[in-house]
Amino acid sequence: MKLRAAAVSFLNARPLTAGLAGSPLIDLVLAEPSLCASMLEAGDVDLALLPVGALPGRDWEVVPGIGIGADGPVQTVVLAGEEPPEQWGEVFLDTASRTSQILAQLVLAERGLSPRYTHMPALEGLSRAVGPKGALVIGDRAFDVDKKVVLDLGREWNRLTRLPMVFAVWAARPGALRPEDVQELARGAQVGLGMRTELAQQFAREAGGDPERYRRYLTQKIRYGLGPHELDGLEAFLSRAALAGLAPPTTLRFADDVVRSRRIRRAVSIDAALQKGADGVRLDPDEAEALDEKAPLLELGLAADMRRRALHPEGVVTYIVSRNMNYTNVCTTACSFCAFYRPRGHEEAYVLDRGQMARKIEETLALGGIEILLQGGLHPDLGIEWYEDLFRWVKSTYPAINLHALSPEEIWHIARTSQLPLDATVDRLVAAGLDSIPGGGAEVLDDEVRRRIAPLKCSTDEWLTVMRAAHLKGLKSTATLMFGVGEDSRNRVNHFVRLRELQDETKGFTAFICWTFQPENTRLDPSDNSAHAYLRVNALARLVLDNVPNFQASWVTMGGGVAQASLHMGCNDFGSVMIEENVVSAAGTTFQMDSEEVERHIRDAGFQPARRNMRYQIIGQA
């Protein structure tokens, strides 16, 4: 039986609902916000896209990862009047949404204002908001409010708290949602978010108005992620509402989103599979899964070491001198595992300017660096021109620098924000100076996991599509895996198999690197993210990814000692001397090494160090 769900028909909700049309799991009805809440209460529906003001006093289970919010001006929740708010003796509160009523009162109270509040339908309130009176207006009609004073409550909340405002979340009756349903909502969001341009055009046809304005509203104003900062914002809203006596105290409860489907697996001999792997015979998914679950660390390590010796018999371990340059930490995907991103309006949100970048690049050159690893958040305001200008500037100012830039996620984002086809996006970036692509943002290439930890990120297929497009244009890239996020053997093996298939097709991956999820400052509980797991998974990857030439040791997350051990269990590369790293270190890991220290670790472990470029060509033997 399908789950019954209710959602508002507002424009900002459509990216979360449009992708659910024809869903095999969820039946959707559209209603006013307050009606959504009462339908859920009455049991008419099991699930509703609920204004957060309807959460207090209830034990609804919230769907993790997605919601409707804003990290600055929202445009569709406003207080309007003819005189400044300080003059208002009475404020008419739109009856359609309790959330906005609470928000309006919190914002005015923070300014020391306590006008008389009168509940009234929006249009009537707005018409009576003359002289010393104000009115709360929400929803799509707020686009067209024509008053002298308009207080955008998204912006006001952000000024007040430096946190994003979350307006609505999917909430369900306790026990009503299965993990599959949660994943279906994430899938729907992923589809819907990809349709924002069409949804804006459709809305303009229905309601009139400028489709471009609506598109910007959906892509640049409204935020659909429910990551650590958004949850901070939501909790701040709920606790302030409780403190102000506007709602009972609330503790958020989340629906279970871990899908545990199984694949029937034939019996596999661990010994035989290890021998095959060691000898370079291709392992099938059943064998890989059995090894992942059962093979002891040193057995995987011995087999992986035999593969490494066969592929790299010289006993050379390479490394590169490169610098991470994270051009912005503003990001709209709000992944639960990320400690790096900041919403717009956050006091630590930044976009690097040319002066800062120039200094970083010059420091890199001074240290013998040859590459900039340029990655950043998905900033909603940066279009392809920004990247093109940046690349041209880097290449013309510092011709010696290799631009290893933009993970597939970012390229996908640029294509979307600039409304360009993927191919054209890659062509333009290459023309501007892009040399190669880092394999970041892969996380676990299994949508069952991605929808849980990063529902707004590109899907597995999309990630691979970008890589395929880039490889076919002659760009090389790396491939990554971040694990320890509650995935299982099957998910990890799916990841390897998808990479291996693409590599068979394109030969575009130069190297693989994996690391474990670092949980500090995030909202996600780790599963096994230990050093032991790192060495096992890395060794298994060396066996399964028989067509990827190089394996990097992740000393940044694991420390030099464990990375040295990985050189004896499959790795032949020590990654990069890190002049700067911001993303993983935001989650608590702070291992540092200069090139002398990198070489000491390589030598001490019994190998000859050599510097390389991004194509893994040796450029200097130490």
Q: Which residues bind other proteins (CB under 8 A)?
A: 271, 274-275, 278, 296-299, 301-303, 305-306, 519, 525-526, 528, 530-533, 535, 558-565, 568-569, 597, 600-601, 604-606
Nearer to other proteins, 227 or 301 (CB): 301
Least distance to other proteins from the beta carbon of 601, Å? 5
Nearer to other proteins, 343 or 484 (CB): 484
Nearer to other proteins, 263 or 603 (CB): 603
Q: Is 381 left (phi over 0), alpha (psi -120 to 50) or beta?
A: alpha
Residue holding tokens 């911001």? 582
Q: Mapping DSSP to helix (H, G, I), strand (E, B) and coil, where does residue 397 land?
A: helix
Task: Please name every residue paired with 40 in a beta bridge, in sequence order, or none if there are none.
Answer: none
- Copy the structure tokens of residue 393: 């500037």
Least distance to other proteins from the beta carbon of 560, Å? 6
Nearer to other proteins, 362 or 594 (CB): 594
Least distance to other proteins from the beta carbon of 558, Å? 6
Least distance to other proteins from the beta carbon of 454, Å? 21
Nearer to other proteins, 46 or 289 (CB): 289
Nearer to other proteins, 389 or 596 (CB): 596
Nearer to other proteins, 395 or 600 (CB): 600
Least distance to other proteins from the beta carbon of 549, Å? 21
Nearer to other proteins, 247 or 563 (CB): 563
Nearer to other proteins, 130 or 272 (CB): 272
Nearer to other proteins, 269 or 419 (CB): 269
Checking DSSP bridges between strand 371-375 and strand 316-326, what pairing results, if any?
A: parallel
Q: Which of 227, 244, 233, 91 is nearest to 154 (CA)?
A: 233
**Distance between CA atoms of residues 76 and 96, nearest Å:** 13
Q: Cβ contacts of residue 124 below 8 Å, gap of 6+?
A: 92
Q: How far is CA 384 from the centre of its chain?
A: 19
Amino acid at 598: V
Q: In the 3-class helix/strand/coil scheme, how is 71-83 assigned residue by residue?
A: CCCCCCEEEEECC
Output b/e per residue, 343-360; b: 16+ Cβ within 10 A: bbbbeebbbbeeeebeeb
Nearer to other proteins, 145 or 533 (CB): 533
Q: Which of 167, 175, 224 is nearest to 3 (CA)?
A: 175
**Distance between CA atoms of residues 537 and 252, nearest Å:** 34
For the purposes of burial, counting CB atoms within 10 Å of the CB of 44, is it exposed (0-12), middle (13-18) or buried (19 or more)? middle
Terminal alpha carbon distance of the chain: 66
Least distance to other proteins from the beta carbon of 561, Å? 1
The secondary element (H helix, E strand) that includes residue 554 is none
**Distance between CA atoms of residues 600 and 196, nearest Å:** 52
**Distance between CA atoms of residues 264 and 281, nearest Å:** 23
Least distance to other proteins from the beta carbon of 580, Å? 19
Least distance to other proteins from the beta carbon of 300, Å? 9
15 within 8 A of 189, measured Cβ to Cβ: yes
Q: Cβ contacts of residue 233 below 8 Å, gap of 6+?
A: 69, 157, 161, 163, 164, 165, 166, 343
Least distance to other proteins from the beta carbon of 452, Å? 18
Least distance to other proteins from the beta carbon of 259, Å? 20
Least distance to other proteins from the beta carbon of 608, Å? 11
